[in-house]
Amino acid sequence: MEALNLDVFDIKLFMVIGLFILGIITLLIGIILLITRSAGKEVRTLATQTAQLAKKGIAEDVAGLVGNASTLLSATNDLVRTSAGIGVFLAVLGFLLMAVATWLVLKIS
């Protein structure tokens, strides 16, 4: 079995390629999170039904129902913001990893 003849340049190049691939994967995961979690059907359905519940509570003058519906709407809004924030963070991190990998390729060549 022959040994691979790798020098320092080849090892650095493989590491940079790995960093670039990791950046692509991170970017794709962030975009997928933004698409699926932020505009998810379940979240929209929950928000719609909670708004209807609040209207019914106001119409029937049930203060507890309106308060709980308001809390549920607030929690749903926080859920959407958190999911969107994670997606944006991953997308930006992916871009940064790819930019660093590109800079390193230019630096080592």
The amino acid occupying position 37 is R
Mean pLDDT of 39-65: 64
Residue tagged 């999911």 (tokens): 83
Residue 105 has pLDDT above 60, yes or no: yes
Let me know if residue 69 belongs to a domain: yes
Radius of gyration for the alpha carbons in the chain, expressed in angstroms and rounded: 24
More reliable by pLDDT, 98 or 40 = 98
Question: Which residue would you say has higher pLDDT here, 101 or 62?
Answer: 101
Q: What is the pLDDT of residues 4-25, one digit of tens each?
A: 788 888 889 999 999 999 999 9
Asked if residue 83 lies in contact with residue 38, where contact means CB atoms within 8 angstroms, the answer is yes
Q: Would residue 21 count as lying in a domain? A: no
Report the pLDDT averaged over residues 80-109. Answer: 87
Please report the pLDDT score of residue 82 as a whole number: 76
In a domain, 7, yes or no: no
Residue 35 lies in a domain: no
User: Number of structural domains, the chain?
Assistant: 1
Tokens of 73: 């709407």
Please indicate, yes or no, if residue 93 is contained in any of the structural domains.
Answer: yes
The whole-chain average pLDDT of the chain stands at 79
Q: What is the mean pLDDT of residues 48-58?
A: 66
In this prediction the pTM is: 0.68
Quote the tokens at residue 52. Answer: 């209807």
Tokens 């090892």 sit at which residue? Answer: 11
Range of the domain at 73: 41-109
> Is residue 96 assigned to a domain?
yes
Report whether pLDDT(39) > 90: no
Residue 58 lies in a domain: yes
Q: What is the 3-state secondary structure (H, E, C) of 11-28?
A: HHHHHHHHHHHHHHHHHH
In a domain, 1, yes or no: no
32 pLDDT above the threshold of 80: yes
